[in-house]
Structure 1
Amino acid sequence: MKNIPEKYKRKYSKEEINALPLRRYSGPVSLVRTEEELEAALTDLRNEELIGFDTETRPTFRKGKMNLPSLIQFASQETVYLIHLGWVPFSEGIKEILSDSDIVKTGVAVRDDIKDLKKLADFNDAAVVDLGEVARELGMETHGLRNLAANLLEFRISKAAQCSNWSNLELSRQQINYAATDAWVSREIHLRMRELGLVTF
């Protein structure tokens, strides 16, 4: 296990997090809803070595019922792509990105995201890094995305849109901001961990 400064090990209280400045992703967002937009996104993503990764699924309030992912978020160095599965299919090109061992896909609880995507179509994932698992291995008390952002990046992110209806064909501005921020901040946390020498990939 790598050594991590003690200040990063501690758990942040809700009050401490709420006292931090609120940030959201403010760069370019591409809402992918056509085959042409998807191909352009995949062309860009194939040139990346690190991608922030997340999915969004319509919440279910019935016991035993599970919904499938509605949105896949990929954050490249320059752009966040929101791939809307209500408009475009879970294609071979998307599966190739998730299976490419030369492109690290990073986020929190991404093992669950991969498992859910495999319900749409089978593929062999590679180079998927769960930041929550990395945090546990480092002995950090903080494992969730909001807490890791507070701890390592010293700002807070909003989770207000988390339980909204992600299967809507038209996403609200709040949903777009939320989804883009989750993927972007995952990449930023990974870069910060790399800067601190906590991850080497």
Structure 2
Amino acid sequence: MKEETTVLHKCISKDELNELPLSHFEGEIQLVETLEQVDEAARYLEQQLILGFDTETRPSFKKGQTNPVALLQLSTSDKAFLFRINKIGLPESLVRILSNPKIVKSGAAIRDDIKILKNVNHFRPGGFVELQEYVKDFGIENFSLKKLAGIVLGFRISKSQRLTNWEAPVLTVPQQIYAATDAWVSYEIYVRLLEMEGQMAI
């Protein structure tokens, strides 16, 4: 019996999005704040084929001023690693992952994320997938991560922590969940679309 093909909507309105259930990452979150923790996390991440990718930066409320990247998030389906770049920099073990073309790093609007990471420690990006481009192959015309989650995954994610201080001495639990969720959703969207491509090829 042939599997029914999933059809995605091109767009989703604000009202439609608000009707969807709210969801967030419920797996294991590892906050990485020391070089020893980085190396341990990198050993795990280097074994993965696909990672969700995102960064966070302390918001600037002055025109023309941007702050350096504070947090790098890399996630699988059940583990999210939050690297406090403002504390540990961008060590070579992370550079290897970001440069490895065999490890897919999927995210939305990743150009600026990569640029600010390169300001910390220059690297040659490898294996990155821009979801905002990839979803065009499926006829999707909304490109924000929040709307992509609604269209592809059928739930909405909170953006309430976006403008909080990502350089704070201690990240709150809501901040950690928010940061993990963004990377996890990027992972899940890419995997779901890969599955759909498999269906479409049948």
Q: CA deviation at 1:139?
A: 3.2
Q: Which residue of 1 aligns with 2:117?
A: 117
Give, in whole Å, the separation in 1 of the partners of 2:195 and 2:139: 18
Q: CA deviation at 1:169?
A: 2.0
Q: Which residue of 2 aligns with 1:14?
A: 14
Flag the structure with higher helix content.
2
Task: Evaluate the alpha carbon distance shift between residue 6 and residue 34 of structure 1 in structure 2; reply closer, same or farther with a 3 A threshold.
Answer: closer
Q: Which residue of 2 aligns with 1:44?
A: 44
Aligned residue for 1:197, secondary structure, equals helix
Deviations for 1:56-92, whole angstroms, at most 9, x for unmatched residues? 0011111121111100000024310000123212111
Asked if 2 retains the 8 angstrom alpha-carbon contact of 1:48 and 1:77, the reply is no
Give, in whole Å, the separation in 1 of the partners of 2:86 and 2:125: 22
The number of equivalent residue pairs is: 196
Task: Evaluate the alpha carbon distance shift between residue 135 and residue 47 of structure 1 in structure 2; reply closer, same or farther with a 3 A threshold.
Answer: same
Aligned residue for 2:87, secondary structure, equals coil
Aligned residue for 1:41, secondary structure, equals helix
- Structure 1, unaligned runs of 5 or more: none
TM-score, structure 2 normalization? 0.92
Q: Which residue of 2 aligns with 1:140?
A: 140
Task: Evaluate the alpha carbon distance shift between residue 16 and residue 100 of structure 1 in structure 2; reply closer, same or farther with a 3 A threshold.
Answer: same
Asked if 2 retains the 8 angstrom alpha-carbon contact of 1:9 and 1:142, the reply is no
Aligned residue for 2:112, secondary structure, equals helix
Aligned residue for 2:129, secondary structure, equals strand
Give, in whole Å, the separation in 1 of the partners of 2:94 and 2:71: 12
Give, in whole Å, the separation in 1 of the partners of 2:114 and 2:37: 23
Residue 65 in structure 1 maps to residue 88 in structure 2 = no
Q: Decide which moves more: 133-142 or 27-36.
A: 133-142
Give, in whole Å, the separation in 2 of the partners of 1:75 and 1:116: 19
Give, in whole Å, the separation in 1 of the partners of 2:16 and 2:39: 42
Give, in whole Å, the separation in 2 of the partners of 1:100 and 1:169: 31
Q: CA deviation at 1:137?
A: 4.6
Q: Which residue of 1 aligns with 2:81?
A: 81
Asked if 2 retains the 8 angstrom alpha-carbon contact of 1:87 and 1:169, the reply is no
Give, in whole Å, the separation in 2 of the partners of 1:58 and 1:98: 22
Asked if 1 retains the 8 angstrom alpha-carbon contact of 2:108 and 2:144, the reply is yes
Alignment of 1:166-177 (within 5 A): 166-177=166-177
- Structure 2, unaligned runs of 5 or more: none
State the AA in 2 paired with 1:79: K
Identity %: 39
Give, in whole Å, the separation in 1 of the partners of 2:103 and 2:79: 16
Asked if 2 retains the 8 angstrom alpha-carbon contact of 1:53 and 1:73, the reply is yes
